[in-house]
Amino acid sequence: MFKKILIANRGEIAVRIIRTCRELGIETVALYDESDMDSLHVRQADYCVRLPSPETFLDVTTIVQIALAYQVDAVHPGYGFLAESATFARQLTEAGILFIGPPAEVITAVRAKVKVLDAVRAAGFPTVTHSPECLDVHDLATIQANALQLGYPVVVKSCKGGRGRGERLVRQPEQLETAVQRASAEAKAVFGSNQIYLEHAMLPAHQIGVQLLGDQHGHLIHLGDRDGSIIVGNQKIIEEAPSPILNESQREEILATALAIGRMFNYQNVGTVEFLLDRNGNFFFSEIKARIQVEHSLTEMVTGIDLVRQQILIAAGEPLPWTQEEVPFHGWAMMCRLNAQDPWQNFLPSPGRLKDVRIPSGPQVRVDRYVYTGCRVPPNYDPLVAKVTTWGRNREICLSRMKNALADFLLVGTPTNLPVMQRVMHTSAFARAHYNTDFFTKPLGNGADSEVQLRDLAVITAVHFARRHHMFNPTTPARLQSGWHQDSRRLPQ
């Protein structure tokens, strides 16, 4: 087993990895820059290395040098951009350090997105409709021709992208050129390549992810499905497992398809096969995410399997301890992603100091976070500050626990999307699982409000109105204005 692991990521996932490493008796080395030194992962790691800038988190050479200097056995990339960098995995291997993730050749294969789609389609599985190859961003005529052939709306995607970076939805032809320029520029900055491809946008749809787990001995299993259809800015902010939209026959077929696709690429370690489900219940393969994801807590709650632990054991050469039939599935899980974003300013990132943080607790409530009272949210990273995951033996109980957990959560000091999460949980559409990727394109409906809630809202509104209009004017009582009480307390001269 490993003695020391470097974590090439930050924030809540770094805290998550540190806790599992502690259980395994493994020392950890954390990375941070000046703006992020308040983060909980810096306080919990055994060793900390300060980076000169946030961009250094993407500097493969520097991180490999740090790993060598601290004599680590392995590097865990979290779910950062280096998690899907074949170059990073290869350089670590050449330096004699294990990469906790898929082998470099697997990462290379699954990140060639157009080739993956072609291979999956050739194997007889349905895929999303896309342009036949990666496109030169300077050849606008070819891009326009492909868009017309696919039919609007289309999505501009980075050939090497992920996490919504280098991705733009285009509804009308006149929007295409601007979208291509912006998507390619972002892709170049983040992934080092400005190549893009086009995909016909399936609107509305459900995003279904199937969690895979494979060892180095040829064993591959799935750990169920997740539904991540509630999206803001290309980012899934509410997810649940299992998907409430799938019936049993659909679920069996989509899980079997995910396993077959994973075997096509000899997939190892943790990864997710993603699908889009249309309004008619047909599913289409979209891509493979070759890393652990933010929403892995859902899978851990419904299976009881520690995915980070399994990543480490697989990297160490251990075989999977379960067959597919032995994987336990229990109950329902939901996750809300809490971001430092201002929902009243179009979810603009809002870094700053959190003056007061209160973490919810209770039966089957899990909070992954890096923040605490007085902690700063840095401006240079993803705005995720915490994620709340709840479990119940059915969806109704799980939802009730999520409502209570979000009501107990307190984040004061900088705007967050917590009020939006609280409101979504009380909408009748979410309660009935009547949602899809168009959820936030329409006004949020209101749930059923009790008389007590309406009374409290009326009081809050009245107090807020009064304070805004300066109706509270503090005065000094007349009996304290004469000065006699001050004279009586004077010491003799």
How far apart CA 40 and CA 401 sit, in angstroms, is 26
By the 10 Å C-beta count (0-12 exposed, 13-18 middle, 19+ buried), 168 is classed as buried
What is the DSSP-derived secondary structure letter of residue 444?
P
The residue whose two tokens read 């995915």 is: 307
Contact 20, 14 (CB under 8 A): no
Q: How many CB atoms lie within 10 A of CB 432?
A: 9
Given 291, 366, 369, 401, the catalytic residue = 291
Tokens of 323: 């067959």
Q: Among this protein's residues, is 291 annotated catalytic?
A: yes
H/E run at residue 208: strand 206-214
Ramachandran category for residue 476: left, alpha or beta (phi over 0 → left; psi -120 to 50 → alpha): beta
How far apart CA 210 and CA 301 sit, in angstroms, is 15
Contact 26, 11 (CB under 8 A): no
Residue 158 pairs with which residues in a beta bridge? 196
The residue whose two tokens read 């008619």 is: 280
Phi, psi values for residue 50, rounded to 5°: -85, 130
Task: Please report the beta strands in 233-331, taking only residues with DSSP state E, as ranges in sequence order.
Answer: 235-241, 269-277, 283-289
Residues taking part in catalysis: 291
